[in-house]
Structure 1
Amino acid sequence: MQSLSGRDKAYSFVRDQVLTSPAATGTFLNEQELATRIGVSRTPVREALLMLQAEGLVEMVPKRGAHVPAMSGRQIGELMELRGVLERHAASASLKAGAPPVSQMRDALDRQEHLADTRTAEGAKEFIDLDGLFHQILVDAAGSELLSRTYAGLRARQLRVGLTALFAAADRQRNVCSEHEAIVAALEEGDEGLVHRAIDDHLEVTLQILLRA
């Protein structure tokens, strides 16, 4: 298996470990500190940050470095709208193929339910990681590599807003599990309209929590 280049290692680390944290919002990233943590020189870190700038995840500010901007209400709304389009399409495609990923999604949900009452930062991060897995399984079931890659590209934003929502609403973890159960149950029934409504309801609740946060 080909090893990752220094740039790719830095890119993956910053995107998946740094930018997923709500605490990163509004901060400037220290290139040398990142290089030390990742075990590479500053050059690949700089290259990775430029890639992340192209994706809109950081802003390069002259003489200051890479800034992690807050997501505006409009951007959060657009993220949820895009998620809805992709997830509804994937659900319809999987039902049409007669292969909705019920067992895989339920496995991810079962693991979430074991963490539903945890209140630690580590537990919340694991819960949101499983949240991402739950939805990615649904999208992957459409059988489209491009669709799956597009959805996976939203990961850093989704994890950041997901963690924000968990800490902004009481019992959000339990409620997420209930909303996920509604999606899985609708898939089991094979009811396309019901699945779409369950997806929309889940995303709308999350959106309203984030807009109030």
Structure 2
Amino acid sequence: MQEMGGTEGPAVELSGREKAYLYVRDQVLTSPAATGSFLNEQELATRVGVSRTPVREALLMLQAEGLVEMVPKRGAHVPAMSGRQIAELMELRGVLERHAASRALEEGRVPLEVMRSALAEQEAFATDPSAEAARAFIDWDGRFHQFLIDAAGSELLSRTYSGLRARQLRVGLTALFSAPDRQHRVCAEHQAIIDALEAGDESLVHEKINTHLEVTLQILLRA
């Protein structure tokens, strides 16, 4: 299945299971409102344009990833993320992003241009209070960080990070609605990361990444 980030090959026709998987992972499970709900297989099948069988297969794949729980006679349940799971997510992100930054600096391929472009897109949505703008803001947030990850030049690293997408979008949206003016603060934190990368200061880059993730973590733990 094609993931966000990494090297993209020729367009490939997706199977019904893959279409259902990507739709549920990237559209349904990223919403904070999905937490605690049960997913209706028939409704999902109608939305995706497939039968219920590939939807069930997709839900089983998502269960294996810990994104849903299959409850007998009830269907697929979307569990809330615990404080421990959120902390582990931020810790893993930190490990991957610091490593990618070090590799990018070492090999002279820091993606400053595309990271600046992603930040500019975020800033365009920062003052819009709508739910649609918040979703777009967080989507560009994911791209900002994925560009840095991809600069490490490791397909496995890019795929691993991309696999965190659903969780990151969900917690990102939660954080936006849990702290005043979080959008502008995120943009400032992203600018600090860009500035450190441009300066070529590895320790400072790590510090700015750590600060960004720690601020988000504390907001989520208070939410």
Aligned equivalents of 1:102, 1:23: Cα separation in 2: 34
Which AA in structure 2 matches 1:52?
Answer: L
Which residue number in structure 2 is paired with residue 15 of structure 1? 25
Aligned equivalents of 1:112, 1:8: Cα separation in 2: 29
Which residue number in structure 2 is paired with residue 26 of structure 1? 36
Aligned equivalents of 1:114, 1:42: Cα separation in 2: 39
Match of 2:113 among 103, 108, 125: 103
Which residue number in structure 2 is paired with residue 178 of structure 1? 188
TM-score for the superposition, normalised by structure 1: 0.99
Which residue number in structure 2 is paired with residue 90 of structure 1? 100
Aligned equivalents of 1:202, 1:24: Cα separation in 2: 26
In structure 2, stretches of 5+ residues that fail to align are: 1-10
Deviations 1:119-175 (A, max 9, x none): 000000000000000000000000000000000000000000000000000000000
Aligned equivalents of 2:174, 2:70: Cα separation in 1: 24
User: Identity rate of aligned residues, in percent?
Assistant: 77
Which residue number in structure 1 is paired with residue 16 of structure 2? 6
Which AA in structure 2 matches 1:62?
Answer: P
Deviations 1:55-112 (A, max 9, x none): 0000000000000000000000000000000000000000000111111101100111
Aligned pairs (5 A) from 1:150-161: 150-161=160-171
Which AA in structure 2 matches 1:55?
Answer: E
The number of residues matched between the two structures is 213
Structure 1's consecutive aligned runs of 4 or more residues displaced over 4 angstroms after TM superposition are none
TM-score for the superposition, normalised by structure 2: 0.95
Deviation at 1:3, TM superposition (A): 1.1
Is 2:154 aligned against 1:144?
A: yes
Is 2:201 aligned against 1:203?
A: no
Aligned equivalents of 1:173, 1:2: Cα separation in 2: 35
Which AA in structure 2 matches 1:112?
Answer: Q
Is 2:137 aligned against 1:127?
A: yes
Which residue number in structure 2 is paired with residue 55 of structure 1? 65
